[in-house]
């Protein structure tokens, strides 16, 4: 028996072994479920199982489609060669049209037109590869403007699968120009992929299109690797999208590229878990949310954001419910928010910002939370708030730099900020600095521990509104640094009025007394100085 027949038998065995996986344990076989609920239900069950930590599909098949159409057909039985020279487009498309689920043995399949994936169908390779192993596995090398498209026209397709494939733009070399789209999910729902590698396109994977009549729904990607693309992942019209693992950006030699993950248009529930977004020669932006029609619920958990030159994260549109949690931010460029609301940065570690202007910069937006993060390097300002409103900064560990937290609005009404229970140490200027304008009101600074600063623990300056409504309570402020001012709390301008300073401990500062040069409407009492 030749090697190819052995592979096909192995594939059939893998499918058979998984025929009674998770749903069988619930008293119904996959075959029965398919007959009663259709292939879309199978794919939906797969999505939910994956979110619970289980992957219900074997590595080289999609058993939902197999239940309906029999074993994957081999593209070579339809005339595909896989030698990198012969045009295999017609053969692969014929296989897809005939039996839907198509197996592509290891090889390089040259294509010159778009491959269209039908419902309950897909392409399953021998193995995917990447920049390190360019001759291993199943490669589709395409010169088409769109290499692979899932769905077309006005109807939906469902339960499409792309597994263990590498998709490359024909003629691409590292650092070279890029065009076209690798994989377009045009009109699809409850579709999945595993072990994909996409290289050398203008857009690597695109979810939805401006001209599709439907929002794509229920995409699951496991171990997705994309390199050498100007936009690696672009979500434009999609919902319930999950990425689990992989790397976005070239690990080898390349030129600077545009964006790792871009979200625009109409999207909701876009999530990434343990995704590395890093390009050796830099992205402009690791994550960008922009041009919003309706965007909500975008989340990154346990991710790695590296090498951005403009912004590690940027939101300049009215997106809501955005969260980056428990991630490593090694990019020297900041998080930037100029619009949007209900944005949360929590439990992240920020590094590699020495000498930069800021780590997090808020020039707009509202109801933003920055909590329980570690800021480890030495920028001019760790957290810099301009015209945002209702920002809560709590429980952060802020080490070094010029100023720990700075609020300095430039226009309009802002305020409603809470700065509480932060550890701020080693600031080369001020721990917390408020430079008020006439629109900044209602700022609460409470329960912070500010140590080893050079000039002032808490500085409040500027013009301020007629009634500031500032509250500075319960902070412990100390420093042994005598190279600067060394004062615990300072209110420097009579225009700052209507404020409360109580219950603070500044006794361990070179200048322990509170400098109170503010207005006459105030309570300054019960401080230990």
pLDDT in tens, 279-324: 888 899 999 999 988 899 999 999 999 999 999 999 999 999 999 9
CA angle 122, 127, 133 (to 5 degrees): 135
* Residue positions counted in the chain: 529
Exposed e or buried b per residue across 246-273, where buried means at least 16 C-beta atoms within 10 angstroms of its C-beta: bbbbbeeebbebbbbbbbbbbbbbbbbe
CA distance 208 to 263: 11
CA distance 134 to 123: 19
- Higher-confidence residue of 441 and 49: namely 441
Q: What is the pLDDT of residues 490-528, one digit of tens each?
A: 999 999 999 999 999 999 999 999 999 999 999 999 999
DSSP annotation string for 381-398: EEEEESS-EEEEEES-EE
Tell me the torsion sign for CA atoms 312, 305, 190, 167: positive
Q: What is the pLDDT of residues 158-187, one digit of tens each?
A: 899 999 999 999 999 888 889 999 999 998
Cα Rg of the chain, angstroms = 28
What value does the mean pLDDT take over residues 363-376? Answer: 97
- Give the per-residue pLDDT at 6: 54
Single pTM value for the model: 0.85
DSSP annotation string for 152-207: -TTS-EE--EEEEEEEEETT--TT---EEEEEEE-SEEEEEEEEEEEESEEEEEEE
Give the residue among 49, 60, 50 at the shortest CA–CA distance from 25: 49
Strands (E), 318-451: 320-325, 328-329, 335-337, 341-346, 349-350, 358-362, 366-371, 374-375, 381-385, 389-394, 397-399, 403-407, 414-420, 423-425, 430-436, 440-446, 449-451
- Give the per-residue pLDDT at 414: 87
- Give the per-residue pLDDT at 25: 30
Helix (H) or strand (E) holding 234: strand 231-248
Structure token pair of residue 412 = 């309009």
- Higher-confidence residue of 292 and 145: namely 145
Phi/psi at 42 (5° precision): -60, -50
Give the residue among 48, 44, 103 at the shortest CA–CA distance from 72: 103
CA distance 17 to 461: 71
**39 within 8 A of 119, measured Cβ to Cβ:** yes
Does residue 42 sit in helix, strand or coil? helix
Give the residue among 342, 403, 402, 404 at the shortest CA–CA distance from 374: 404
Percent of the chain at pLDDT exceeding 90: 73
CA distance 150 to 189: 10
CA distance 30 to 177: 46
What value does the mean pLDDT take over residues 346-375? Answer: 97
Confidence class of residue 215 from pLDDT cuts 50, 70 and 90? confident
Residue 383: CB partners within 8 Å, gap ≥ 6? 358, 359, 360, 362, 370, 375, 393, 396, 398, 404, 405, 406
* Residue 83 confidence (pLDDT) above 70: yes
DSSP annotation string for 9-41: HHHHHHHHHTTTSGGGGGT--HHHHHHHH-HHH
- Give the per-residue pLDDT at 22: 34
CA distance 340 to 413: 16
Q: What is the pLDDT of residues 239-285, one digit of tens each?
A: 999 999 999 998 777 888 999 999 999 999 999 999 999 988 889 99
**What secondary structure letter does DSSP report for 511?**
B
* Residue 71 confidence (pLDDT) above 90: no
Structure token pair of residue 177 = 């120009």
Structure token pair of residue 226 = 């994309």
The strand pair at 499-502 and 308-315 is best described as unpaired
* Residue 27 confidence (pLDDT) above 60: no
Helix (H) or strand (E) holding 272: strand 257-277
The single residue listed with the structure tokens 């100390």 is: 478
Does residue 46 sit in helix, strand or coil? helix
The strand pair at 358-362 and 335-337 is best described as parallel
Confidence class of residue 9 from pLDDT cuts 50, 70 and 90? low
Structure token pair of residue 77 = 């039985």
Structure token pair of residue 203 = 């857009």
* Residue 360 confidence (pLDDT) above 60: yes
The single residue listed with the structure tokens 């595909």 is: 80
**What secondary structure letter does DSSP report for 528?**
B
Q: What is the mean pLDDT of the chain?
A: 86
* Residue 189 confidence (pLDDT) above 80: yes
* Residue 42 confidence (pLDDT) above 50: no
Composition of the chain by helix, strand, coil, percent to 5: 10, 50, 40
CA distance 106 to 103: 10
Phi/psi at 320 (5° precision): -130, 155
**150 within 8 A of 186, measured Cβ to Cβ:** yes
- Give the per-residue pLDDT at 168: 96
* Residue 118 confidence (pLDDT) above 90: yes
* Residue 415 confidence (pLDDT) above 70: yes
């Amino acid at each position: 028996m030749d090697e190819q027949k052995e592979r096909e038998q192995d594939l059939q065995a893998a499918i058979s072994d998984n025929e009674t996986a998770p749903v069988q344990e619930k008293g119904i076989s996959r075959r029965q479920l398919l007959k009663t609920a259709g292939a879309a239900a199978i794919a939906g069950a797969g999505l939910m199982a994956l979110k619970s930590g289980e992957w219900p599909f074997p590595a080289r098949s999609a058993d939902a489609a197999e239940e309906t159409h029999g074993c994957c057909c081999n593209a070579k039985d339809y005339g595909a060669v896989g030698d990198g020279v012969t045009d295999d487009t017609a053969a692969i498309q014929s296989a897809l049209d005939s039996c839907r689920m198509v197996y592509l043995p290891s090889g390089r399949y040259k294509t010159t037109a778009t491959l269209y994936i039908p419902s309950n169908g897909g392409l399953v390779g021998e193995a995917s590869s990447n920049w390190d192993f360019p001759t291993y596995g199943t490669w589709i090398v395409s010169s088409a403007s769109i290499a692979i498209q899932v769905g077309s026209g006005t109807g939906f397709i469902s339960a499409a699968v792309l597994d263990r494939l590498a998709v490359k733009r024909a003629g691409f070399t590292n650092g070279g120009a890029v065009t076209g789209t690798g994989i377009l999910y045009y009109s699809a729902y409850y579709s999945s992929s595993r072990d994909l590698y996409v290289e050398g396109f203008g857009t690597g994977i695109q979810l939805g299109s401006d001209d599709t009549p439907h929002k794509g729904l229920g995409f699951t990607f496991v171990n997705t690797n994309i390199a050498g693309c100007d936009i690696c992942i672009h979500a434009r019209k999609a919902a319930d999208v999950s990425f689990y693992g992989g790397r976005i950006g070239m690990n080898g030699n390349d030129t600077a590229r545009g964006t790792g993950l871009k979200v625009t248009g109409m999207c909701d529930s876009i999530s990434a878990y343990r995704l590395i977004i890093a390009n050796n020669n830099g992205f402009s932006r690791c994550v960008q949310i922009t041009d919003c029609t309706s965007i909500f619920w975008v989340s990154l958990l346990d991710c790695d954001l590296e090498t951005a030159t403009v912004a590690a994260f940027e939101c300049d549109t009215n997106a809501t419910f955005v969260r980056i949690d428990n991630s490593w931010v090694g990019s020297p460029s900041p998080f930037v928010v100029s619009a949007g609301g209900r944005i949360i940065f929590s439990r992240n570690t920020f590094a590699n910002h020495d000498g930069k202007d800021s780590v997090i910069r808020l020039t707009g937006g509202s109801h933003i939370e920055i909590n329980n993060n570690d800021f480890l390097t030495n920028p001019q300002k760790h957290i810099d708030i301009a015209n945002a409103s209702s920002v809560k900064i709590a429980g952060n560990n802020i080490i070094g730099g010029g100023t720990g937290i700075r609020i300095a609005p430039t226009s309009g009404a802002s305020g409603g900020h809470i700065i509480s229970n932060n550890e701020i140490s080693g600031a080369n200027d001020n721990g917390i600095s408020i430079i008020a304008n006439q629109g900044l009101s209602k700022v609460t600074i409470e329960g912070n521990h500010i140590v080893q600063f050079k000039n002032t623990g808490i500085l409040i300056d500027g013009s301020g509104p007629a009634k500031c409504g500032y509250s500075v309570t319960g902070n412990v402020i100390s420093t042994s640094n005598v190279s600067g001012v060394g004062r615990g709390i300072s209110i420097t301008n009579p225009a700052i009025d209507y404020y409360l300073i109580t219950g603070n401990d500044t006794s361990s500062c070179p200048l322990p007394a509170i400098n109170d040069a503010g207005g006459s409407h105030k309570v300054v009492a019960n401080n230990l100085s």
